[in-house]
Structure 1
Amino acid sequence: MTCLDTFMLNLYLEDKLPLRMKQEIQRHLDTCSSCQFKFEQYLDDLDTFDDAADDVWQTKATIQNVIDKLPAYPMNVLKPIQKQPVQINWKKRSVDIVKKTTIAVAGLAMVVTFGTAVSPTFANYMNGIYASINPSEITVTKGPYNAKQVVDLFDKKQTDIGVKKAAENGFVQPLDMKVTDQGLTMEISAVVADPLRIIVLGSVKDSSGKKIPSFWKDQFTFISSDNVNEFREVRLKDKNGKVITRLDDKSRETMSGLPLPNGENFAYYGDSLGAYFNEANPMPDELILEMRVKRLTDTKGTWNFDIPIDMRPAKAAMKTVALNKELQTPTGVSVELKEARFVPTATQLEFSNSNSNEKVVEGFRYELVDETGTVVGKWDDMTDPYEGDQDLRIIGMSHGASINFTEKWQPSTSFVHTYMPLDPAKNLTMKLDAVYTAEKVSSQTKLSLAELEKNPKKVDVAGNQITFQSIEMEKDEESTSFDIPLEAILAKDIVGLPKQWTVKDENGNEARLVRLVVNKKENQDGTIKLEGKLDVIFEKKDVKEITVVLDHVIKENKVDWEVQIKGEKK
């Protein structure tokens, strides 16, 4: 911008300029020595008071006194940077301006100007305020990184493309928050957040400055789901410090999350924000992620962070396209594509279904195609989610029968599928060609450990041929575990067996865990062959005979359904 004249200086001091222009003037004053000199002379002309009044404002202690009287947010979440104060002689004019103009906002303007000049702590505070008010206009916030540099801190191989793309598009908030205790330094470098999720990027260094993988590796050693709060506590708060609890459990203050490796750094993924907010409980514009770490590797200590998160840019960027298109299938079930959601880190499709008395929807198969015919998303509930193109889906955030968070633990008939960010301005088409339903069967098969050692056991379940083979058993002090190898040739149009079965011992006690793990292969006649095993765990030592209960199989129902998803044009 051009240099300042008296008219602009007056408007600036009286706080009569738009925010964008005030910020431009502030940046200009920081770099233009000519305007700094003009500004100083301008203050001289206004000064008619004695030096006693001037002396009140001449020290860093006075600035700190002002800081101490400011609200806790965002000061409580910003750590002072330990540097020598900048020695600039500003003629000690802030009190004079307040007295001269008798305008409180002018006094605040002067405190901002001079406080920023002489106190790095105060500059850090004001940067936080400016970034929260209009972060799109701040290229450098707190810390040594700007928004472009911080993207390079994300590892390309270990960061999902949704987070990477959101950061590249400017939805990253650089931070420089460090805490050192017991010779270990934990640092928070950045946060990426939108209405779907929060991701924090950080690192841990030892006393020599070398990065160590403690924060994410600890979860495989001394940390478990039962004791995690002894070593880490994470809470979501509003800007006033009030804890935000989950919709399904108001008594639970702590937030679940998963730290993952990210090159030399770690990335902490918090709970899905859908567990905390809905239309009746809207998301605030500003959040604080409170992180309390009490142990790193074998070292106990205190590493506490209050991470400020401005949700406004991402909330403004979110686009929701209401669709409400319904497919009535010949099987008696209906499938509805309710809406498409576009946020900086992801794109979501939400389906719902209504089940008939006999049929239950187990899933779908479809492709998501853009206006050039390119497949930009795929979904198949009968395919291993880790197969295929991992650049399309965000596996951990895609699910069927999602939880209705307003009614504790009650599943809804909602299916949410999450993809990498797609452009809401481009037309998409959802092409669905199969709906999977649960077909009821009734089968109870007794398996004797001694007999299976001699011969496999074959059973026919509604035309599906299932063979159980010799069982491997393992005991410890508290439980008995079984690996039950099996092979299945499925009937026509049957494409799978349920992952969850019921297994009982000879006394009718149900197993604590039953899980089916299989590989699928298509035969030449179009039928499917499964090979794998049932993993079974009982909470007791002695089990001699088990009964395997199967109540349904999964059928493919072919359909031909297309839905146009038309977003807002730019």
Structure 2
Amino acid sequence: MKCPTGDKLSQYVDDRLAHDDVAMHVHNCTQCQQVVATFEREQQFIKETLQTPTLPDDFTTIVLNQLEPYERQVKRKKLAPWKRVLFAAAGVVLALGVSATLNPSFAEWIGGLFSTEQVDDGLKMAMEAGLTERVNLEVVDNGMTLKVEDVLADSSRVAVSYQILNRDGEPQDADLRWGESGNEIIVIDQNGTELSQMGVGWQQGTDYGLIEIPLNDKESLEKMIVKFDLAELGGVKGSWKLEVPIDLTKKRNLTTTVSLQGAKTSQQGVVVKMKEVQYAPSSTKLFYETGFTKEEQASLTKDIQKLESQFGIKYDRFRNPFESYKTDIQYHIENGDGKVIASNNAFTEGKGHPIDVGLLDGSNNDTGQMGQLAVTRSFIPQKEDDKLTFVLDGIFKTVPSDFSIKIKPEELKKNPLTFDYEGNYMTIKKVEKQRENVYSRSSTPVEPKMVWGIEMEGGIEVPASRLETWILTDDKGNSYPTVNNWSILDEKDKNGRYKTTIHLAVPDLDEEPEELTLHLVSVTRYEEIEDVWAVPLYK
């Protein structure tokens, strides 16, 4: 199955329970998990920004009265004294859309999207370093204009700002409805190969949208073209085709690479090997690998063979209940003063699951060996040269479990079944047929069908083990893989645990058995590091 569109993943983040089809894919796709994590960080950013105190009604007038007239030629360096004031005004653009009521050239006058608070600090720092190119490419049809204003590029990522303008030149909502209404955006390299990673973002009520292309493992990339092929813009049908060429050949000189000399540690059956760190103007990028030790790998192989024999389910690349055994790590990056500037998989008060702090994006690439991943993480660079240090805090590993529980569906209607396992306190509420959105292997939607589903709800402690993969067996000894769609809220129940729901879909089950058994065949456990392991990220 192909990865869902960015719009689909965004909708999934907004309402997980309404998108079981996407959840099935995200559960087993590390790349989409990173996209979802990025959307969650953006969602939190918007939520926090919208809490900005309300400014007075005449705030815009006060600011404009202090600025020189537009007709006067102003060199960019003269904007420096206004930088703090204009950034504050940009916060108003984000929260209230003030600039939409002004002359459209106002946003351009202050430096475009990359000079505002709508982008991360890394992009703003790269803009201040002079890496922004004003391209002003546009295409018009039926009174609507797609305008690409700025391109910002270095060796770590490319960012493109755009606007949607009506026939009066007024900015409209910047939602391109990517992947819908026949709208397509692709990125190709100098060889004509399409790049798989790209994000499109916008914030409702603002003037700009942002297209971002991470350049993870793209050392040989010299040039690219962002191609727009849109059939609808701002609710108007038409045709908008635009190509934006981007040259990266001179950007490589702006990046400093520090080898980490293969620094390596083994913790609780997990190997962590550091590769290198790249310092670019818009981001700092860390490369490392995680995997199981040889001993853990051998043990897992034996356990999987036992499970395959027990349940009679063999490997299938499209639905493999035994493919989820993997590794991950928890760590933080600290500066020379010991201040934490970024965290990966951090446990934070008010959150029922690990989150990333200060990270921009990342990717996990399967190396072909069970549990081994080549990982890239990008975080916001520091404004001043600093000696950064990687500090390992803990490890996550998904391993076999021998937990099982018997269920009599008819009895659940009167007496829901409760169990607790490794910090999870769950109640099985019902077993019933439910409508499922099913996708073919080509990602083409097909007719929804009714499948059996098992509903659980309860609460979890932090850190609790994550209940990953379940297999159902009926009273005749038949085995059925399940698809696990789980949700953890940032809200606690009366017992102080984070509210949790689990929906298990059983696509291959035709009839409700009188008795069934749920077998938990994989669980992700967190283990804290006892001894500090730190790696300097500098020469």
Alignment TM class, shorter chain as reference: 0.5 to 0.7
1:335 aligned onto 2:277: no
The counterpart of 2:427, out of the listed 468, 475, 481, is 468
1:206 to 157, 166, 191: 166
Which of 329, 332, 356 is the equivalent residue of 1:367? 332
Aligned-pair distance for 1:480? 4.1
Q: Say whether residues 1:478 and 2:449 are aligned partners.
A: yes
Give CA deviations for 1:479-506 in whole Å, capped at 9, x if unaligned.
447573334677xxx9333364235485
1:355 & 1:424 partners in 2: Cα distance? 37
Report the 3-state secondary structure (helix = DSSP H, G, I; strand = E; otherwise coil) of the residue aligned with 2:123. helix
Superposition map of 1:311-460 within 5 A: 311-329=248-266, 331-356=268-293, 357-358=295-296, 362-380=327-345, 392-394=358-360, 397-399=361-363, 401-403=364-366, 412-422=372-382, 425-459=385-419
Are positions 1:496 and 2:464 aligned together?
yes
> Residues 187-266 of structure 1: matches in 2 within 5 Å?
187-213=147-173, 215-216=175-176, 218-219=177-178, 223-224=179-180, 230-238=182-190, 242-246=191-195, 256-261=198-203, 264-266=206-208
Query: 1:181–1:301: 8 Å Cα contact kept in structure 2?
Result: yes
* Kept after mapping to 2: 8 A contact 1:367/1:430: yes
Paired AA for residue 428 in structure 2: Q
What TM-score results when the alignment is normalised by the length of structure 2? 0.61
Instruction: Please provide the CA RMSD for this pair.
Output: 4.0
Aligned length: 386
Could you tell me how far apart the structure 2 residues matched to 1:180 and 1:410 are?
51
Residues of 2 paired with 1:348 and 1:375: CA distance? Answer: 16
TM-score between the two structures when normalised by the length of structure 1: 0.58
For residues 434 and 255 of structure 1, the distance between their equivalents in structure 2, rounded to whole angstroms, comes to: 29
The Cα of 1:532 is off from its aligned counterpart by: 0.5
Cα distance in 1 for partners of 2:205, 2:282 equals 20
Task: Show the 5 A alignment for 1:61-140.
Answer: none
**Distance of 1:478 and 1:212 partners within structure 2:** 39
Cα distance, 1:458 vs structure 2 = 3.5
Match of 1:274 in 2: 216
Distance 2:115 2:431 in 1: 41
Secondary structure class of the residue paired with 1:495:
coil
CA distance in structure 1 between the aligned counterparts of 2:161 and 2:123, rounded to whole angstroms: 11
2:537 counterpart residue number: 565
Contact 1:161 1:420 in 2 (8 A): yes
Larger radius of gyration between Structure 1 and Structure 2: 1
Distance 1:475 1:270, change over 3 A: same
Please list the CA deviations of residues 323-371 of structure 1 after superposition, one character each: whole Å capped at 9, or x if unmatched.
0353433534321222112222211222213412436763223221111
Aligned to 2:51: none
Partners of 2:485 and 2:327 in 1: CA distance: 17
- What amino acid does structure 2 have at the position aligned with 1:243? G
Q: How do 1:15-54 residues align onto structure 2 when only pairs under 5 Å count? A: none
- Greater RCO (Cα-Cα under 8 Å, separation 6 or more): 2
Tell me the secondary structure at the aligned position of residue 350 of structure 1: strand
**Conservation of the 8 A alpha-carbon contact between 1:155 and 1:262:** no
CA contact (8 A) 1:473 1:481 kept: yes
Q: Are 2:504 and 1:555 aligned?
A: no
Deviation (angstroms), 1:528: 10
Match of 1:516 in 2: 486
Task: Go from structure 1 to structure 2 and tell me whether the alpha carbon gap of 1:411 and 1:561 turns closer, same or farther (over 3 Å shift).
Answer: closer
Equivalent of 2:131 in 163, 167, 171? 171
What do the CA deviations read for 1:485-542 (whole angstroms, capped 9, x no partner)?
334677xxx933336423548564434x41222358999xxx9955411133455896
TM-fit CA distance, 1:204: 0.9
Shift of 1:411: 7.8
Q: Which runs of 5+ in 2 are unaligned?
A: 1-103, 298-324, 436-447
Quote the sequence identity (%). 18
Query: What letter corresponds to residue 398 of structure 1 in structure 2?
Result: G
- Tell me if structure 2 keeps the 8 A contact 1:342–1:424: no
User: 2:121 & 2:536 partners in 1: Cα distance?
Assistant: 25
Task: Give the secondary-structure state (helix, strand or coil) at the position aligned to 1:162.
Answer: helix
Aligned-pair distance for 1:256? 4.8
Quick one: which amino acid aligns to residue 556 of structure 1? E
Amino acid at match of 1:536: L
Counterpart of 1:374 in structure 2: which amino acid?
K
Cα distance between partner residues in 2 of 1:522 and 1:183: 50
Once structures 1 and 2 are overlaid, which stretch shifts more, 189-198 or 175-184? 189-198
* Alignment partners' CA distance in 2, 1:538 and 1:504: 8
